[in-house]
Amino acid sequence: MCRQSATVCLTKTPTRAERGAGTLMGRLVALPDPRGRRGRRHSLVSVPLLAAAAVLAGACSYAAIGQWAASAPQHTLVRLGARTVGLLGVRVAPSTATIRRVISLVCPGGLAELTGADPDGASSLAVDGKAARGSRHDQELAAHLLAAVTGSGQTIGQLRVPDRTNEITCFAALLAPFDLHEVTVTADALHTQRAHARFLVEQKQAHYLLVVKANQPALFAALRSLPWPKVSARHYQRGRGHGRRETRAVRALTITDLGLDFPHAVQAARITRYRTDIKTGRLPRQTVYVLTDLTHQQASPQRIGELARAQWTIENRLHFVRDTAYREDASKVRTGHGPENMTALRNLAINTLRDHGHHSIAAGLRHLSYEPFTRPLNPLQIP
């Protein structure tokens, strides 16, 4: 069943082996066709496959995907499975209207499930949401998408948050299909929920590191009142970049005997960030508190600091990239499942570029643009 509706999403749920192996074309076969039986000229697999190749070449809209398809040579259309016409077997690409219709109809849960990365081998997983601002239309709210990203920057899945609710309602549904044994899940203060902690530890056999802010006033006050100046377990991290110098002081404390009201919590940590703006000389300071079920043998203050910074992976390596490389907030894709499906294709493109050694997604897109009808196909493992 689809995690976003009560209808059947996939002909079968992909196994762990199927998600990590095989070609994209082979995985997309599991998608059910949402179109009526009459008037189908193009196979369902060929349309999202062609769209994925176009997005990997830098296409940001339906019009750009349609233009890429119309310009594709015969050898490219053959590999993408485009339909044949006439006795000579000439390949014909779908029109922009067909691409728009299929992408807006295909089930977003199924497409995200089949195009996401496998978290196998990941040590941490960051969960956070982002609104596609350009998808707002009349009285309809902008599509808000909750995603999970590994520490290496690979997106494993996403869900659209139902309108008039928030990310809390989708946290368990997003992570439910994946094997998270011994994976540490990080999230911001919105997800510092007792139900989330129990779900991760008791059902998924995972670990958590959650930020505590003033939205949990009693818990925040309890953490703030701990004897932090006397804590000897500490670590300092220093870095420089983005026009500033930063020093992070991490102090960790075992809290199992302190009666803190949070499920499975073993350690608390206070992270103080001292920043120096190189141009202005300003010295802002920020203090945050985190809770984790990891013991001091499993997570030293240094490891806690690394996990806390891993939460920024999803901001820096996914949300920021989609905004800058694909201009997602300016996209006017609004109807049907278009916003979330176009985002799933962007996530796939980013995953693919990182798999092939491109640390800069913008540079990777420029590299593919030099030979737009040959280079994008090899990373997608199309036979």
- Note down pLDDT in tens along the chain; length 383 residues: 455 543 445 545 566 655 655 788 888 888 888 888 888 899 999 999 999 999 999 999 999 999 999 999 999 999 998 999 988 889 999 999 999 999 999 989 889 988 998 888 889 999 999 988 878 877 778 889 999 999 888 999 999 998 878 899 999 999 998 889 999 999 999 999 999 999 999 999 999 999 999 888 999 999 999 999 899 888 888 877 767 788 889 999 999 888 788 999 999 999 998 888 777 777 788 889 999 999 999 999 999 999 998 888 888 899 999 999 999 988 888 888 999 999 999 999 999 999 988 989 999 999 988 888 877 777 776 66
Inter-residue contact 70 to 93 (CB < 8 Å): yes
How far lies 354's CA from each of 54, 80, 318, 375, 379, in Å?
17, 22, 11, 15, 10
Q: What's the confidence (pLDDT) of residue 212?
A: 93
Closest CA to 180 of 171, 188, 189: 171
Question: What does the alpha-carbon distance between residue 66 and residue 45 come to, in Å, rounded to a whole number?
Answer: 16
The packing angle between helices 338-355 and 96-105, to 10°, is 100
Backbone angles phi, psi at 159, to 5 degrees: -140, 145
